Structure 1
Amino acid sequence: MAQAFWSSVFASSADQTWAVVRQFNGLPDWHPGIRASEIIGGGNGLTPGAVRILTGVDGSTYRERLVALDDAGRKLSYEIVEAPLPVRGYRSTLHVQPVADTGGAFLSWHAAFDPAEGSTAQEAATVLEAAYAPALANLHTIIA
């Protein structure tokens, strides 16, 4: 499996950061490439199995399923069911950890996937990381 990864250190506490990130239906609040999210089944958006439809600012749509939500460990995992991305078998985890010396938070966004036919692992990772970077940059402005 190929992997993509992005991370950032936040001045806000791990609990403050997690309160925003844990909202499976809240991605439009902090991802500048996503304009809408709707839970279409499987629960209320905080229950594993919940399915969301994301609409990008370009009109593209993404169907994703919440795999796990671990408040104690501050981890949210989801998988892509259907999306216009060069990946197959995509599963991703956002993990918020406390930073001991500053009281801030470290947020990592890690994905494992197979590149879609016609795409290399590096090409797919570049596309994913190009989506993660502005999302985490914008998250800083939301929880500053």
Structure 2
Amino acid sequence: MFKRFTLVAAAMLAAGPAFAADVTESTPVNAPAAKVWATIGGFCGIAKWHPAVEGCALSEQGGKPIRTLSLKGGGTIVEQETGRDDVAMKYSYVILESPLPVQNYISTIAVTDNGKGGAVVTWSGQFEPKGAEAAAKTVIDGIYVKGLAGIVDKST
């Protein structure tokens, strides 16, 4: 009996607790997918469509693009692009430095053709909250919702 309990407990500890939180937002866009992808643009294109971003400076570290976002009202976020597929219309990135209540943040933004002349943009992220998970999710969700609204506005 003790041996069985020990094995079960060891298996549970090896699996570890689920520290990661997930947030995903999607929105339809009444524009062709290629146009929406062009609106999203390069890694620093976010400064043109996200209402919270005042500016973006692009640099490189270890062969990977780095963007430093200047936020309206103050503050900066430094992010590294980890993957880009222009054919599939998506890119992924991680946050290196930020005032956001998250750590180990990984995100992807993607555009898909809806088959009816329009598109769907999906922005998703996974992270470990710093503090309350609900509060961290609310912050990230707000960033996504405002960003997606900006994409819709600039694409149509």
Query: Per-residue deviation at 1:123?
Result: 1.3
2:40 aligned to which of 21, 24, 49: 21
- For the 8 Å contact 1:22–1:76, the answer to whether it is kept is no
Extract unaligned runs of 5+ from structure 2: 1-19
* Alpha-carbon displacement from aligned partner over 1:56-77 (angstroms, at most 9, x marks no partner): 0011100000000101211110
Q: Does 1:124 align with 2:143?
A: no
Larger Rg: 2
* Alpha-carbon displacement from aligned partner over 1:39-96 (angstroms, at most 9, x marks no partner): 12249xxxx7101100000111000000001012111100000000010100000011
* Equivalences, count: 137
Query: Per-residue deviation at 1:13?
Result: 0.8
% identical aligned pairs: 31
CA distance in 2, matches of 1:40, 1:75: 20
Aligned to 1:103: 117
- Amino acid corresponding to residue 63 of structure 1 in structure 2: V
Extract unaligned runs of 5+ from structure 1: none
Secondary structure at the aligned position of 2:64 is classed as coil
Q: Does 1:114 align with 2:128?
A: yes
- For the 8 Å contact 1:74–1:95, the answer to whether it is kept is yes
CA RMSD of aligned residues (A): 1.4
TM-score, length-normalised on structure 1? 0.90
- The structure that is helix-richer by fraction is 2
Secondary structure at the aligned position of 1:25 is classed as coil
Q: Does 1:141 align with 2:156?
A: no
Aligned to 1:80: 95
1:7 aligned to which of 26, 34, 40: 26
